[in-house]
Structure 1
Amino acid sequence: MKYMATYDLMETARNTNEWLGATARALASYPAFSMSMSPLVNLTAAWGEVTERTFGRMVAKPDWGIRSIAGDDGQDHLVDVKPVVERPFGDLIHFSVRRRAPMKRKIMLVTPMSGHYATLLRPTVSSLLPDADVYVTDWHNARDIPVSAGKFDVEDYTLYLVEFMRHLGPDTHVIAVCQPVPLTLAAAAYLAAEDPAAQPRSLTLMGGPVDPDAAATEVTDFGRRVTMGQLEQWAIQRVGFKYKGAGRLVYPGLLQLQSFISMNGERHAKAFNDQIMRVARGEASDHDAHNRFYDEYLAVMDMTAEFYLSTVERIFKNREIARNDFVVAGKKVDFGAITDIAVKIVEGSNDDISAPGQCLAALKLLTNLPDSKKASHLEDGAGHYGIFAGKSWRLNIRPLVLNFIDANSAAPVSAAPASAAPAQPAPAAKSPTIKLATSQGSASA
């Protein structure tokens, strides 16, 4: 399927459905039809409105929509989204709050590159902004990146994270959600060995597949059943002539969306039928619950073929992270190099994407990290989305994460250099010690 024709065929079908929706909405909205007593007129207009919006959202990048936050001074502070590191495949962006002094907490939020835009974590960003300076990895849609920009695979992804962490400095606290968890851990280990002065203070790893074999899910089962040849034949296409990345091999967002929807087809069909009836009755609005959810859910982005295939092969099939056998730019990443970075694991008991145990496996890799700097939390009743954006995040997990960050914000105490020792004997002075505790106290918390 590695042809432009198949990619353009999907885009043609999407565009046609968007046009049909717009046409039905416009035709059924003519004043002349208002004299008709048939309910089909309103239903046709409603169907057209929902259809046009649905298919139009599939190729539009959502806006962050975070305009302002309330400050401690009782005033609203405007928020600007500013890129601080710009690269072809992704930027590091800063949510700069006007008229606010730098915060004690500096958080780098690593977002997934798994089909949706970084804006999927909008609720997470909004909840952290009042209490921290927030930086976010904003990955680009592969269809818009020219072939001349080169490849982008799991090693490149890891090196991007290394660069972002270096830029922010050692007083940074990193939170990784879902797919980037194992690569974030690898980036931290890479820094710990190559540039320990730039390593972050803490890592919070949430619902990611560090060891996919630790607990089976539909995702891991699929990874075992399908060969790499089959996956490349079924999933990979070339970007069509409509976009700047024409000719680039990608895993198309529209193909990913088809897989997402097929997993819960009946539920999605009911949701759209109900929305059509609400529009026909005049009960829907531009930002109602349906539109808020599906405007984000339907907005999908292409992944580079090499990133998708290397993720499946190296993370899921070969388990290179779980076996501590991951190589980046010709250098083996040793997770034993992490000795000072506090690490917290967060999992949801009902997570059907990264089941409990897959992320917790990270702590076993950190053989030289003291137990006092390890922590874990299993949120009872939380699913995959809930641990970083739902009720569980708002009520339970967010406070735990912030407490963990505060408990590990002090710089590690380093031994004084020999040249600094006094020439004459003097009474030994007690140097201050800093206890690096975690919000849970131990890895079994």
Structure 2
Amino acid sequence: MRYMAAYDLMETMRNTNAWLGATARTVGSLPAFALMPNPAMQLLAAWGTVTERSFERMVAKPDWNLAPIPGEDGQDHLVAPEVALARPFGDLLHFKVQGRSASPRRILLVAPMSGHYATLCRSTVASLLPDADVWVTDWHNARDIPVSEGKFDVEDYTLYLADFMRHLGPDLHVIAVCQPAPLTLAATALLAQQDPEAQPRTLTLIGGPVDPDAAATEVTDFGRRVTMGMLEQSMIQQVGFGQRGAGRKVYPGLLQLASFISMNAETHGSAFWQQVLRTADGSASDHDRHNRFYDEYLAVMDMPAEFYLSTVARIFKGLEIAQNRFTVRGEAIDIGAITDVAVKTVEGGKDDISAPGQCVAALKLLTGLPDSKKASYLEPEAGHYGIFAGGSWRRNIRPLVLDFIDANAGKPTPPKGKGRRGRPVQPPVEPANSLPV
């Protein structure tokens, strides 16, 4: 009960701050105060506007809100997300481009379950849609999942990914972003052992902790310092009253958000105050740069406790993937069993979450895969977010990934002999700063 009380206390604090923001906005905007102009009242209303929006966004799931895709027929085709496969802890979501024929490139984007919704990869999806049919793993907020649905740990996550790949069939290309990289590698190896025909054609791992010990970061240092008992006592709470998942043990999204913000508190505080000033002088807008970023950043979801704890215990502390000792329901998963799936790793030179070396370690585990099907790339100036959603992704990484997919598709992928956006297909050439395999 004490953990439920703590969960409800956090939600009460969030609600209270949202209410204070709404009250300040209302009072500062009263017409009576316009009779005697006072900058303080404008600042009060602006502070309330920004505060209310910030705290309300913490419990709102963002919309995908994807722009129409221009087609070769000269028309703009609307994008409609639809559930292709429903599961209690996460759905397989397909982005149907209305009026467009199916694309030969079929991509499954494995989004992280790390505190934010899959919409964190919105720009990644948007950049791939003009050239491919795209599916994404849409993980659910644990606070909305009844206790009767049972547990969800790293083994269940791996089985979900294997099921999604089976559902989509072998003519598939998988891209895993950050946290799911090691488990996506394990899911592919599971298919190699149990259902080889269901394996994807290619697997691209972007900035994931396959071997956390390969390069130290604050994340890996934290994992070494704390014990599992300390984590369970300090991070895990039970979903409170009023939620569908009442009683379920979770790593609360609000607690995760507090940790995120504390890492760069001064930067976030400055951004908040600058937005207040812009709101006060009328230069802020509903979809300005600040709101676009923080509407997504502040939208957090609860993570199942068993998933969070098993990730720390087995992936970071136990190094089960890094040492090829991972098991699923008692069955040993041999990553060396992957012999046909082409694998590429992508890392950012300035990634402070999954530092260079952690992801490329996957290639050493692929002992059954010929070197011709292995590739790696290091983007020297990119940080963690930039390698899958920033400028580095758009300018450099995305074209390389699509070339890698085409080179290992098993047949000419683009229709009518054309490549990305109508350009002739050229054999991919790894850039000079690709890491040697």
Fold conserved between structures, TM > 0.5: yes
Superposed counterparts of 1:247-396, under 5 Å: 247-396=247-396
* Cα distance between partner residues in 1 of 2:344 and 2:170: 17
1:173 is aligned to: 173
Report how far residue 48 of structure 1 moved. 0.4
Task: Give the TM-score of the pair, scaled to structure 2.
Answer: 0.95
Q: Which runs of 5+ in 2 are unaligned?
A: 412-426
Q: Determine whether 1:222 maps to 2:214.
A: no
The residue type equivalent to 2:302 in the other structure is D
1:100 is aligned to: 100
1:136-158 CA distance string (max 9 Å, x none): 00000000000000000000000
The residue type equivalent to 1:444 in the other structure is P
* Cα distance between partner residues in 1 of 2:43 and 2:185: 51
Q: Determine whether 1:444 maps to 2:436.
A: yes
1:135-193 CA distance string (max 9 Å, x none): 00000000000000000000000000000000000000000000000000000000011
Report how far residue 438 of structure 1 moved. 6.3
CA RMSD of aligned residues (A): 1.2
* Cα distance between partner residues in 1 of 2:102 and 2:311: 37
Report how far residue 35 of structure 1 moved. 1.3
Contact 1:408 1:438 in 2 (8 A): no
1:62-99 CA distance string (max 9 Å, x none): 00011411111221001111101100000001000111
* Cα distance between partner residues in 2 of 1:131 and 1:76: 14
Report how far residue 298 of structure 1 moved. 0.1
Q: Residues 45 and 212 from structure 1, CA distance in 2 versus in 1: closer, same or farther, beyond 3 angstroms?
A: same
* Cα distance between partner residues in 2 of 1:41 and 1:225: 48
2:44 is aligned to: 44
1:380-422 CA distance string (max 9 Å, x none): 10000000000000000000000000000017xxxxxxxxxxx
* Cα distance between partner residues in 1 of 2:367 and 2:435: 13
The residue type equivalent to 1:124 in the other structure is T
The residue type equivalent to 1:60 in the other structure is A
1:2-38 CA distance string (max 9 Å, x none): 6100000000000000001001101111111101232
Superposed counterparts of 1:51-90, under 5 Å: 51-90=51-90
* Cα distance between partner residues in 2 of 1:262 and 1:158: 31
Contact 1:347 1:378 in 2 (8 A): yes
2:156 is aligned to: 156
What secondary structure does 2:404 align onto?
helix
Contact 1:33 1:41 in 2 (8 A): yes
Report how far residue 330 of structure 1 moved. 1.3
Q: Determine whether 1:5 maps to 2:5.
A: yes
Superposed counterparts of 1:184-263, under 5 Å: 184-263=184-263
1:303-359 CA distance string (max 9 Å, x none): 000000000000000000000000011110001100000000000000000000000
* Cα distance between partner residues in 1 of 2:89 and 2:37: 54
The residue type equivalent to 1:334 in the other structure is D
Contact 1:375 1:438 in 2 (8 A): no
Task: Give the TM-score of the pair, scaled to structure 1.
Answer: 0.93
* Cα distance between partner residues in 2 of 1:7 and 1:96: 38
* Cα distance between partner residues in 2 of 1:283 and 1:238: 42
1:434 is aligned to: none
Report how far residue 439 of structure 1 moved. 4.8
Contact 2:165 2:200 in 1 (8 A): yes
* Cα distance between partner residues in 2 of 1:2 and 1:179: 31
What secondary structure does 1:275 align onto?
helix
Superposed counterparts of 1:28-39, under 5 Å: 28-39=28-39
The residue type equivalent to 2:41 in the other structure is V
* Cα distance between partner residues in 2 of 1:74 and 1:205: 34
Q: Residues 280 and 205 from structure 1, CA distance in 2 versus in 1: closer, same or farther, beyond 3 angstroms?
A: same
* Cα distance between partner residues in 1 of 2:36 and 2:205: 59
* Cα distance between partner residues in 1 of 2:435 and 2:41: 61
What secondary structure does 2:83 align onto?
strand
Q: Determine whether 1:20 maps to 2:20.
A: yes
Report how far residue 443 of structure 1 moved. 6.0
Contact 1:2 1:236 in 2 (8 A): no
Q: Which runs of 5+ in 1 are unaligned?
A: 412-436
Contact 1:2 1:233 in 2 (8 A): no
1:118-151 CA distance string (max 9 Å, x none): 0000000000000000000000000000000000
Contact 1:373 1:438 in 2 (8 A): no
* Cα distance between partner residues in 2 of 1:168 and 1:179: 22
Percent identity at matched positions?
A: 72
* Cα distance between partner residues in 1 of 2:70 and 2:286: 25
2:416 is aligned to: none
**Segments ≥4 residues shifted beyond 6 Å:** none
* Cα distance between partner residues in 2 of 1:396 and 1:191: 31
Answer with 1 or 2: which has the greater Rg. Answer: 1
What secondary structure does 1:389 align onto?
coil
* Cα distance between partner residues in 1 of 2:260 and 2:36: 40
Contact 2:342 2:373 in 1 (8 A): yes
What secondary structure does 1:91 align onto?
strand
What secondary structure does 1:32 align onto?
helix
Contact 2:113 2:303 in 1 (8 A): yes
Q: Residues 181 and 198 from structure 1, CA distance in 2 versus in 1: closer, same or farther, beyond 3 angstroms?
A: same
1:261-284 CA distance string (max 9 Å, x none): 000000000000000000000000
Contact 2:378 2:435 in 1 (8 A): no
Report how far residue 440 of structure 1 moved. 2.5
